[in-house]
Structure 1
Amino acid sequence: MAILAQVAAKSSPELTTGIQGALDFRRLWPRTTREYLDLKLQRSSYWLLRGDRAMPILRPFHRNHRRMQEGPSSGYSSYAYLRDREYAQSPTHFIRAFMLIQDDLKSIFEYVEPSEECLATFSYRIHELLMRTCMEIEANFKAILSENIYTPKFDKWHRPILNMHVYRTIDVTHHLSAFEVILPIWNGTPRVMCPFECWKSNQTPSWYRAYNESKHDRQEEFKKANLDHLISAVAGLLVVLSAQFGVEDFSSGHDGLTIGGHQYHDGEPAIGGFFRVKFPNDWSDNEIYAFDWEDIRDDPNRFSKFNYDAL
């Protein structure tokens, strides 16, 4: 087990946390059981060592939804941890804010047709909704960092520096740049958006620049708060939520029975049921979750904190 810890120390902070989780989990058991777990961890597919890399992750990170390793309980485990009250602080607070924004966007669509011809449309209502949407994205980013490990730098007025450059580090853990969002109700071919794809080339999303510019200089930049940037920003908010909660909306009702089959639209129904989403398929083996939630759900240390300071 010490070898595994040494391997992790030379690898990614994500891997270090995963192996440390296994070590912590092991200490909860009697000695004979620990000896069995030692052998199991070293021999099972959960701990394949390739060079200086090990995989995968045995405890979920706070506010970080990922692909699950296939297994007998992977279907249940892939969503059950999202409903644990220790996973995220006040998740419904963030979901409700998105639902209101989505409803307001749908109201705008009652007057402005979602189409290529109308993308340059701008108004005070569109400007207001763009402001709210981007502020909500920032609130989600702050929640992700604060519930994991992140020590902000401070400006000369001793205020924490939190900006898009800082938030871009979240792409390492959440793969925001690999999400696709589909808006099915489009006059023409349904619009497909990748709101954070530009992060792959270290660029700032155009919709976020429009938000900042029209916020700080509305007189000159008002027209940038247009329908195009608004739709992209709402899609960006949906991506950030989906990367934390999957399609879980924390409804008080019962789970519905889903019947598989051919879908008219690409992707799968997203939170709120208005957009559709395609989740990332670029997770490497050492990034995926591989826990059985039944085994760890009563563990007081069932969640990990990702160390963003180590990036």
Structure 2
Amino acid sequence: MPQYYGGFNGDLLRAVFCIENQCVKELYASSQMPLILKEQHSEFDKFILDGTIPDDLIGEWNKYFQSSFVLPSWTINRIELLEVEPGTVLRRMARNFMEYQHQPPSVYSNTDADYVEFIQLIQEIELLIERLDAICRVISPIGRNLKSFGPQISEVHILSCVNIESQMKRILSENGYNKDSYSTSDFVKLLVPMKLANYAVKFQRYHWIDAKKPFEAWDPEAPTKSLPWFDRYNSAKHDKGNVNYQPRLDDVFSSISALLAVTAAQFGATNTARFTSRMRDSVHFEGFPVWEQSQLYIPPDHVGKKDWGYTRFFGGLAEGQA
């Protein structure tokens, strides 16, 4: 299988190398390169056929540019293995783009079906927040009141968690991870590729409550127990009569935060929190992932392509264009 490497000069991507069997099969200059360099394609062809292995790429690349009329700033000082094939995006996984690497995670372009699902998800979250607000008009969410439990609290919490499970199943399936049934042992596999632990949600109306980081303590070795709010949801499904395992008011804040995080991790943090005035007035993201350069989405024109494609995180290229 080919592997892709990015050649960087500081924060700037200067080159993309496709390596297979320790040989350079393809080489691309960044689209930020001056147009005149694109006219020197014969020189790039010679370099492609050079058979250079990764350890030698920096020297070979720099030798070409230092010996030509190009400014030395187009040289590279490091090479990193790229996690995602250039010109492709992962299905339902928002990340930064190379040109906007210091902004919140985003997505390229959702299909009409994705957009409809996103709108429905936002509407469901708004309804859950409305129901949480209704509960908080009766039970002030402060101090030990946050440990309160009851039918309304359980219902809102369960609805949030069911939605989280549904979304995670879709993400796994569309990224090549398919099973007849899923559990938290499967869901936790999304923790790293989506950086779920980095999302922090603040409920602005209840400013005294610390920002929620619902996935911060998620442990692959204990995928259910390490999330107390989810553990109580799981227990409530099977033992509704046991008051020791009933969802608490504080759990509702956590589960809605988790649903917001999963939504943002699919459709973009900016899209999720600012889509409607109701959402903007209720919540905002105090934290979101910062991606390494080797994990960013690289535009197709950096590698000679016209359109974006899809990649499955757990298994190869997906059909169709993004």
- What TM-score comes out, normalization by structure 1 length? 0.67
Tell me how far 1:179 sits from its aligned partner: 1.3
Which is greater in Rg?
2
2:236 alignment partner, SS class: helix
Which of 50, 53, 58 is residue 87 of structure 2 equivalent to? 58
8 Å contact from structure 2 (residues 214, 254) kept in 1: yes
Tell me how far 1:280 sits from its aligned partner: 3.2
Identify which of structures 1 and 2 has the higher relative contact order when contacts are C-alpha pairs closer than 8 Å and 6+ apart. Answer: 1
Q: State the alpha-carbon separation in 1 of the partners of residues 201 and 168 from structure 2.
A: 19
Partner of 2:260: 238
Tell me how far 1:196 sits from its aligned partner: 0.5
Partner of 2:296: 288
Q: State the alpha-carbon separation in 2 of the partners of residues 58 and 296 from structure 1.
A: 9
8 Å contact from structure 1 (residues 47, 55) kept in 2: no
8 Å contact from structure 1 (residues 242, 270) kept in 2: no
Q: Does 1:194 align with 2:213?
A: yes
Tell me how far 1:89 sits from its aligned partner: 7.3
Deviations 1:91-112 (A, max 9, x none): 2232222222122112212222
Q: State the alpha-carbon separation in 2 of the partners of residues 55 and 47 from structure 1.
A: 19
8 Å contact from structure 1 (residues 63, 88) kept in 2: no
The structure with the greater share of residues assigned to strand is 2
Unaligned runs of 5+ residues in structure 2 are 6-16, 20-24, 29-37, 49-56, 62-73, 317-322
Which of 286, 290, 297 is residue 278 of structure 1 equivalent to? 286
Q: State the alpha-carbon separation in 1 of the partners of residues 42 and 83 from structure 2.
A: 19
Q: State the alpha-carbon separation in 2 of the partners of residues 107 and 195 from structure 1.
A: 22
Q: State the alpha-carbon separation in 1 of the partners of residues 254 and 313 from structure 2.
A: 28
The residue type equivalent to 2:160 in the other structure is T
Tell me how far 1:142 sits from its aligned partner: 1.0
- Aligned CA-pair RMSD: 4.3
1:60 alignment partner, SS class: strand
8 Å contact from structure 2 (residues 201, 285) kept in 1: yes
Tell me how far 1:79 sits from its aligned partner: 4.6
Residues 190 and 295 from structure 1, CA distance in 2 versus in 1: closer, same or farther, beyond 3 angstroms?
farther
Give the length in aligned residue pairs. Answer: 261
Q: State the alpha-carbon separation in 1 of the partners of residues 155 and 220 from structure 2.
A: 29
Tell me how far 1:174 sits from its aligned partner: 0.6
Q: State the alpha-carbon separation in 2 of the partners of residues 290 and 208 from structure 1.
A: 35
Q: State the alpha-carbon separation in 1 of the partners of residues 202 and 303 from structure 2.
A: 36
Q: State the alpha-carbon separation in 1 of the partners of residues 248 and 290 from structure 2.
A: 32
Residues 151 and 116 from structure 1, CA distance in 2 versus in 1: closer, same or farther, beyond 3 angstroms?
same
Q: State the alpha-carbon separation in 1 of the partners of residues 104 and 149 from structure 2.
A: 44
Q: Does 1:139 align with 2:146?
A: no
2:159 alignment partner, SS class: helix
Partner of 1:307: 314
Q: State the alpha-carbon separation in 2 of the partners of residues 196 and 276 from structure 1.
A: 17
Q: State the alpha-carbon separation in 1 of the partners of residues 42 and 279 from structure 2.
A: 42
8 Å contact from structure 1 (residues 59, 289) kept in 2: yes
Residues 286 and 295 from structure 1, CA distance in 2 versus in 1: closer, same or farther, beyond 3 angstroms?
closer
8 Å contact from structure 2 (residues 3, 18) kept in 1: no
Identity of aligned residues (%): 20
- What TM-score comes out, normalization by structure 2 length? 0.65
Q: State the alpha-carbon separation in 2 of the partners of residues 78 and 280 from structure 1.
A: 8
Partner of 1:114: 141
Tell me how far 1:208 sits from its aligned partner: 0.4
8 Å contact from structure 2 (residues 88, 300) kept in 1: no
Q: Give matches, 1:139-218, under 5 Å.
A: 139-152=166-179, 160-186=180-206, 189-200=208-219, 202-203=221-222, 204=224, 205-218=227-240
Which of 228, 241, 249 is residue 227 of structure 1 equivalent to? 249
